[in-house]
Structure 1
Amino acid sequence: MTSQTNSGSCCTPGGACGSASQADVQVGITTVYKVTGMTCGHCEGAISQEVSAIAGVTSVKAVAATGLATVTSTGPLDDETVRAAVDEAGYELVGRA
């Protein structure tokens, strides 16, 4: 009987299985903010663009329907810095949700 190797396997040569390596897992601090004034996708994009420009921010997801902006960063964020970015986008940061 011959053995076959599956080059597309998720298992490592050492026998560990998984679909994501340590490098694929996002690590960070997630903070959810309440924002007023968002009504559409354009609003979501404007907030995401401004908040993404803050040093240390790795992702932003703004949702007009809920009025929430979820921000992931490499470290703690200063709420006033986030408030200034949301203000620059033309919206109001109420606070943490």
Structure 2
Amino acid sequence: MSSCCTPDGGCSTGAGEATTAAADATTTVYAVTGMTCGHCKTAITTSVGELAGVLSVDVDVSGGRVTVTTGGEPDDSAIAAAIDDAGYALTGRA
């Protein structure tokens, strides 16, 4: 039985895909309002993380920032919609 977890604590479903995606990755920081706790972090991470092209999501609740790494240029409107669907408001790029 194999695991998708990497030694550094990340998750990988295909080493070749991760290497290619990392080379074309774009990291964008968004300002988001309404986040107050760990549940907020989980809700946004899940919602944005399900979008096509999203490689990683990092939520800073206290700073009101969501950092999204995508394989190429991010789809700001799709990310805003995912954050809205989770119950929060994206106010723009930070």
Same fold (TM over 0.5): yes
Contact 2:22 2:71 in 1 (8 A): no
TM superposition outliers: structure 1 runs of 4+ over 3 Å: none
Shift of 1:78: 1.7
Greater helix content? 2
Shift of 1:26: 3.5
Identity %: 51
Which whole-Å CA distance do the structure 2 matches of 1:49 and 1:95 have between them? 20
Which whole-Å CA distance do the structure 1 matches of 2:67 and 2:43 have between them? 14
For 1:54, what is the secondary structure of its paired residue? coil
For 2:39, what is the secondary structure of its paired residue? helix
How does 1:45-64 map onto structure 2 within 5 Å?
Answer: 45-64=42-61
Which whole-Å CA distance do the structure 2 matches of 1:70 and 1:80 have between them? 15
Q: Provide the TM-score with structure 2 as the length reference.
A: 0.74
1:67 to 64, 69, 76: 64
Which whole-Å CA distance do the structure 2 matches of 1:88 and 1:95 have between them? 16
How does 1:1-97 map onto structure 2 within 5 Å?
Answer: 23=19, 26-27=22-23, 28-97=25-94
**Runs of 5+ unmatched residues, structure 2:** 1-18
For these two proteins, the number of residue pairs brought into alignment is 74
